[in-house]
Structure formats: structure tokens, C-alpha cells
Amino acid sequence: MNSTQKIGWRTALALVVANMVGTGVFTSLGFQLADVQNTWSIIILWVLGGVLALIGAFTYAELGTHFKESGGDYIYLSRIFHPFAGYLYAWISLTVGFSAPIAIAAMAMTKYLAPLGFEYISDWLGIAVILLLSGVHSFSVRQSGTFQDITTLLKVLFVLALIVLGFYFLPTGETALSFGQSWQSEIFLPGFAVSLIYVTYAYTGWNSAAYIVDEINLPKKNLPKALIGGTLLVTVLYILLQFVFLKHANLAQLTGKVEVATIAFGSLFGKNGATWVSIFIALQLVATISGYLWVGSRIIYAMASEHSLWKSIAVKNTSGIPLRALWLQTAISIGLTLTGSFEQVLLYASFALQLMSTLTIASLLFLKRKEGHFKSPFRPYPQLIYIGFSCWVLGYMLFERPYESFIGLGIVALGAVTYFVNGIVEGRSDK
């Protein structure tokens, strides 16, 4: 692929922002408030999520400028540890890692469009959006990049408008804001750790530009710009949005609810205002679904091109688009849309992704630095902090939500089985 067909740092940054700002920031606060209700606790959650994502962004910037192949974690884990580790990540990406966020975004979109009367065709509406966006990404990298730029710009403008309006207007009733001292005990509760799972899911996507590194022009310079700049921007937006939601609704209204943005702005602008906010939240999810379709298919292709069991998927069109990988991911996403509940899919996908991303962060500690590559600052201390926090969260998740955790572990185990089946297939093909 020549440089004129590649994307610059702005489009790569747009991909990071689009993948990060999706369902989590607009839907997870209600679940967090079930256990953590002090505003300082909520802010600490979102700051911690941002710090962990930023550590990840620095780490992936170094890994991505060292390995110049698209595929992200699959490439890093395969090359540094063993092909088995990379295969497991690609398997998780295929089954839930990117397919689940696509399904979750589609489900959230239909929830936010409920005021328009789409509840009776909600599943089919989500499926139609996934199919349409898969079609958009089936032609060329340039078309994908242009579409991603436009939809991400609209997304960011919408989020900024919500923040400005939320800070400008005074609350109309009781608020969920609470700045007492209870945060000092809340941050040690198991519920705080489970809430951090929701937050880390909301930050998922900070590594997305690393998955398409061979489609980025001058990756040594542009990949770090996209990963770090995008993560910093989104962290600021996330913290401000949570404050706005808490400012314009009370605990009883928000706790356990998915549509927290609609509830908050419904209190501020009434039913009609809430309807318009719902519509725009649904529309901004187009950029999220689009970004996950673009990125996820590259991981599946990278895995398929190196393993005989999946060789038939490793096909690109004349413009370099891995069509079969893209449409396989589309099919799995549609299946999850039809069969999964919102919260369960979110939790077991988050558990599996957190497990594998922790392994990828750890992989940097075994990589020898080379001149001319981006260097993650203060290595290895930020990576050790990330690993420690991640293990803490995963441990609490196993204790507090064992059902979803074991589904996540079951997905990993099934991937291990398919890896050994692949080994049998490759053994036979060598004879």
C-alpha cells in the first residue's frame, strides 16, 4: 500500500476517539452508582480509567513502532511470547473483543431511539446499521478514513455541546452530586473494583490505531500522536460528562439505568429535549460501530493469515480490505445482538479483554528497545502499575460477578481448544 493510500495522524486519532467514545460513557454510570455514590469516588474511577488507558497508549505506541505489522496485540503477543498467546487474543477479538462492543453499541443505539417508537423493531434496526457500516468499509482504506473522520467530528462536537450545556444551566431539581467524606471508604469496596470494570470498558479503544499500523503514514511519528493525543482528549471529555450527568439527575433516577444521558437532560430540557439528546447519542454510535468494524477485521485477518484453520478468511480485495474477516466479524456481532443481554455481554467481554490487554502490557517488559522507535516514558514502572491494578480488578470481578467472569474464561478456554485443533490441521497439511 503506497503512502497516498495511507491515513495521517488525524484520521488515526479520529479512529481512537471513535472507538473510545461509545456506549460506556453514556451507559455505565447507572451501574456504578449501585455501589459507589460519592461524586469524588466517581471522579476517581474515571481518572483511574484515564491513567490506565494512558499507560496503555504509551505502551502500545512503543510496541506499534517496533512491530510494523497491522494486528495489534496479536502481533505483539505472538512475536514476544508465543503464537499461542497471540492466537488467544485474536480468538477473543473474533468472538467478543470487537464483536461484543459492536453488538453493545447496536443495542444501546436502539435503546436511545426508543422514544421514536423503534422498540418493536429494535434488534433489526441494530442489525441494519451493522450491515450498512460493514458495506461502507468494504471498498477502500481512503473511504473508510473519510467516513471515520466525518462521523468522529460529529461525535466530538455533540459531546462538547452536552458538556457546555450541562455546565451552563443550573439543575432543576435534586442532584446526584455528593462531595462528602464517604469516598475514603468507598474506594476500598468490592463494588468500586467492579465499577472500574465498567470504566475500563468505556475506555476500550485507546489502542485502536495500533491495529492498523501498516495503514498509517509515518507510523513512528503519527502512531504515538494518535494514541496519546486521543486518550488524553477522551479522558477530559469523560470526566466532564460524568459531572454533568450527576448534576442534572438524582440518585434514584440514575441508579441501575442504562440511558443516563437521556435521564439527565430530560430533567434539564423536558421530554422533547431528552428525545433529541437520545437521537444524537444513537447517531454518534455510528462512528463507534464503524471504528470497531474497521479495526477488528484487521486482527482477525492477521490471525487467519498465519493459521491453517482460518486460512480461507485471509483474503483481501484489490484495495487491501480483508473482506472475509470483516464480514465474519459482522455475522458474529449480529449473533450477539440477537442473543445477549446488554450488561452480561459488557461484563464478560470486559473481563476477557482486560485479561489479554494486561498480558500485552506485560509483553513490553520483555521487548528490547531499538533506536529510532518511540520509547514509553519511565518504563517499566507505569506498566507494573497497570498490571497491578488490572489484577486487582480481575480478582474482585471473579469474586463479585463469577458467572460473567467464568463466561469470559470459558471463551479463552474454547480459544485454546481451537488452537490445538489448528495444530492438528497444520500437522495434516504438512504431510
- Residue 431 resides in a domain: no
- Residue 262 resides in a domain: yes
- Please give the grid coordinates belonging to residue 326: 470483516
| Selection from 191, 205, 176 nearest residue 53 by Cα | 205
| Selection from 142, 137, 301 nearest residue 217 by Cα | 142
Other beta carbons within 10 angstroms of residue 128's beta carbon come to 12
- Residue 230 resides in a domain: yes
3-state SS, the chain, equals CCHHHCECHHHHHHHHHHHHCCCHHHHCHHHHCCCCCCHHHHHHHHHHHHHHHHHHHHHHHHHHHHCCCCCCHHHHHHHHCCHHHHHHHHHHHHHHHCHHHHHHHHHHHHHHCHHHCCHHHHHHHHHHHHHHHHHHCCCCHHHHHHHHHHHHHHHHHHHHHHHHHHHHCCCCCCCCCCCCCCHHHHCCCHHHHHHHHHHHHHHCCCCHHHHHHHHECCHHHHHHHHHHHHHHHHHHHHHHHHHHHHHCCCHHHHCCCCCHHHHHHHHHHHHHHHHHHHHHHHHHHHHHHHHHHHHHHHHHHHHHCCCHHHHHHCCCCCCCCCHHHHHHHHHHHHHHHHHCCHHHHHHHHHHHHHHHHHHHHHHHHHCCCCCCCCCCCCCCHHHHHHHHHHHHHHHHHHHHCHHHHHHHHHHHHHHHHHHHHHHHHHHHHHC
In this structure, which long-range contacts are made by residues 179-182, counting pairs with CB atoms below 8 Å and at least 24 apart in sequence? 179/38, 179/39, 179/40, 180/38, 182/37, 182/38, 182/41
Domain of 334 in residue numbering reads as: 3-425
Task: Please tell me the pTM assigned to this model.
Answer: 0.83
Other beta carbons within 10 angstroms of residue 367's beta carbon come to 18
Calculate the dihedral angle through the C-alpha atoms of 144, 145, 150, 156, rounding to the nearest 10 degrees.
Answer: 110
Look at residue 428 in the predicted model and tell me its pLDDT: 58
- Residue 181 resides in a domain: yes
- Please give the grid coordinates belonging to residue 133: 457500516
Look at residue 272 in the predicted model and tell me its pLDDT: 85
Distance, in Å, from the CA atom of 88 to the CA atom of 280, rounded to the nearest integer, reads 36
Look at residue 249 in the predicted model and tell me its pLDDT: 93
Look at residue 54 in the predicted model and tell me its pLDDT: 94
CA 7 to chain centre: 21
Distance, in Å, from the CA atom of 162 to the CA atom of 321, rounded to the nearest integer, reads 36
| Selection from 71, 126, 69 nearest residue 325 by Cα | 71
Look at residue 429 in the predicted model and tell me its pLDDT: 57
- Residue 48 resides in a domain: yes
Q: Provide the residue type at 235 as one letter.
A: T
Look at residue 363 in the predicted model and tell me its pLDDT: 94
Counted domains in the chain: 1
- End-to-end CA distance of the chain, in Å? 35
CB 130 within 8 A of CB 106: yes
Look at residue 172 in the predicted model and tell me its pLDDT: 85
Distance, in Å, from the CA atom of 197 to the CA atom of 351, rounded to the nearest integer, reads 8
- Residue 430 resides in a domain: no
Using the structure block, give the residue that is written with the C-alpha cell 514502572: 381
Cross-strand pairs, 7: 216
- Residue 386 resides in a domain: yes
CATH number at residue 90: 1.20.1740.10
Distance, in Å, from the CA atom of 374 to the CA atom of 60, rounded to the nearest integer, reads 10
Query: pLDDT (tens digit, 0 to 9) for every residue of the chain, 431 residues total?
Result: 555 568 889 999 998 998 888 778 888 899 899 889 999 999 999 999 999 999 999 999 999 888 877 788 888 999 999 999 999 988 888 888 788 888 888 888 887 787 777 666 667 888 999 999 999 999 988 899 899 999 999 999 999 999 999 999 998 889 999 998 889 899 888 888 888 888 987 898 888 888 888 888 888 889 999 999 999 999 999 999 999 999 999 999 999 887 888 899 988 888 888 888 888 888 889 998 998 899 888 888 888 888 888 889 999 988 889 999 999 999 999 988 887 666 677 778 778 888 888 999 999 999 888 777 788 888 999 999 999 988 887 888 888 888 888 888 898 899 999 999 988 877 755 55
CB 14 within 8 A of CB 153: yes
**Which residues make Cβ contacts (< 8 Å) with residue 17, sequence separation at least 6?**
152, 155, 156, 230, 233, 234
